[in-house]
Structure 1
């Protein structure tokens, strides 16, 4: 099978899932520098790919000009670029339509196997064996392998830290303290460490006077909570409403450590090789969503003996009665101990 010359890579959402494509695309470019890659995603995610040489970007305006029959326009835009292969890393209705339209024009296409049946087995029934499934990064890599691009993710190399502007340097301050990002929110409450307990974590870290703590989040409600926390501590800065996405990536790349839920900020930090401590609620690392390159010891789990039905779902959107507060079983002192041990 002849190698493709120009691959269209489709991953439309969500932020964390798009971020997980980045290490894979770095390896593709490193292994096959002669092959051109064009990524199709939402415009706000384009900054994720700026550090990868040889990657072009097409905006998928799925709520505007590419909505509905507008997908024909998207496929035509891609086809005019001369692509000869499609790596569909999303495999949803929109990407399937684009894939089909290009396939009938003679373009070779491959799509991700999300392992839905395997994941369902781990989230139903009374016995959870928590067999470790293939990571999402490897599932992405498999799509390229099926296009004839044999890649090995162990060949991945992280880029240098991003340059930081004087404005961002101002947030770090002049004192030589370790910089820690804390992203306390997640898409579902079942994956979110309780704010009162997170405040205990922050208080314990603040007392040491060894760390500069940056709070990350999005949306008015989250920003309001983070501003309240910021006001209570000397070494804490809320940056949730202070930075553009590009600036936030720059700040994250210069952190010494990130504390995150099973959510996007962990994947953003992992893109840059920043150590990530992930707090897991009703989801579990066995399902394949551990941030790239992060060791098992950085995965802090809820009490599996007390809550044996974990993982209750793939994304944390469903759980049985009594599992609403599983993350209270992760004590603040345990998190602080792990942070100090890691940095």
Structure 2
């Protein structure tokens, strides 16, 4: 989801600078609300678990896309499925440009020995490079964000309305090495809740996360778990109305960033230098684990590799540090 969300600022800039372009985004149907307000942008569903499954399904998908009279393809994913589609498009003499994911430099950044610790090209820039190869130069400015959305009546019945500042917290990530310990996050929430100045919305997904967040919901009077309560469209609308988002190195950081919401990110065994920093955010808003104590960070690009002892890395980021950063940024909002 984060990779898809990171395309949005680039497409906003592209459609502003080339209003004559007609763009079709090939992605899962679930992600379509991200693109619904973009001019000249449609979403075509990739049903990779149904009619577009496997090589024959991708051939069927290619035949469907050919009917749209596509002139060129920008592959911003560069995975096995898109490589198969690339072959089909090239067979049909339709030009394709694929993203360079920078695998060699990312490998050097995450090595356990002879690590090359340096800031790599952002994913947003890698997307821009693809369009550059197709002949479309893009000037990506910080105002390439989506406007605030209006909350639906159904959402307002659940959320309510008040004069408090709204804080979103997304405390989970795909891997343990990217997830702040929940008992420490509870300390953060306790401090914020006790001020009685903030309304705290908890974001996550899946039954296990839902159970954990419902426990927090029940403990704090200013805290509300949103798991399973809103459609994805309504959840995006809520995110667009936040004053700030606190997130791991995960998709919710990018969802908030595509609306220009200030985002505080917490980094464990991954690091912003790999290029996945949320769009338009001040680098000071990244709270990173102590590399002096854990010098192998980043241990991987996605957080799926955690050396022995590195499960303690996140604990070098103190709850009071997080609360202070949130309040510092909120004072400027």
Match of 2:15 in 1: 29
| Bigger mean CA deviation after superposition, 81-90 or 167-176 | 167-176
Does residue 131 in structure 1 map to residue 118 in structure 2?
yes
Q: Out of 218, 222, 227, which is 1:231 matched to?
A: 218
Shift in Å, 1:169: 2.6
Q: Distance in 1 between matches of 2:268 and 2:136?
A: 36
Alpha-carbon distance, 1:125 to partner:
3.2
Answering whether residue 74 of structure 2 is matched by residue 90 of structure 1, we say no
Q: Deviations over 1:66-114 (max 9, x none)?
A: 0111100111111110001000001111101111111111111100000
Indicate whether 1:67 and 2:42 are aligned: no
Q: Which moved more, 1:155-164 or 1:39-48?
A: 155-164
**Contact 2:142 / 2:280 at 8 angstroms: preserved in 1?**
no
Q: What do you get for the CA RMSD once the two structures are aligned?
A: 1.1
Tell me by how many angstroms 1:155 deviates: 6.9
Match of 1:122 in 2: 109
Cα separation, 2, equivalents of 1:95 and 1:156: 30
In the other structure, the counterpart of 1:208 is 195
What does the per-residue CA deviation read over 1:247-296, in whole Å, with 9 as the maximum and x for residues that have no partner? 10000000000000000000000010000000000000000000000111
SS in 2 for 1:240: coil
What is the DSSP-based 3-state SS (H/G/I as helix, E as strand, rest coil) of the residue aligned with 2:208? helix
1:189 aligned residue? 176
C-alpha displacement of 1:45: 0.7
User: Distance in 2 between the 1:108 and 1:316 partners?
Assistant: 34
Deviation at 1:170, TM superposition (A): 3.7
Q: Which TM-score applies when normalising by structure 1?
A: 0.94
- Residue of structure 2 in register with 1:260 after alignment: 247
Q: C-alpha displacement at 1:157, in angstroms?
A: 2.9
Deviates more, 1:139-148 or 1:174-183: 174-183
Residue of structure 1 in register with 2:163 after alignment: 176
Residue 321 of structure 1: aligned partner: 308
Distance in 2 separating the partners of 1:127 and 1:305: 16
Per-residue CA distance 1:34-56 (angstroms, 9 max, x = gap): 01100101111111101111111
Structure 1 partner of 2:262: 275
Structure 2 CA distance, aligned partners of 1:272 and 1:134? 22
TM superposition shift of 1:158: 2.3
Show the counterpart of 2:2.
16
Q: Give the corresponding residue for 2:44.
A: 58
Distance 2:165 2:49 in 1: 41
User: Does 1:108 find its partner at 2:95?
Assistant: yes
Structure 2 residues without counterparts, runs of 5 or longer:
none
Gaps of 5+ in 1: 1-14
Matched, 1:251 2:223: no
Deviation at 1:175, TM superposition (A): 2.7
Pair 54,316 (structure 1): closer, same or farther in 2 beyond 3 Å: same
Query: Is the CA contact 1:258–1:266 (under 8 Å) kept in the aligned structure 2?
Result: yes
- Structure 1 outlier segments of 4+, above 4 Å: none
Change in 2 beyond 3 A, CA 1:88/1:174: closer
| TM-score, normalised with respect to structure 2 | 0.97
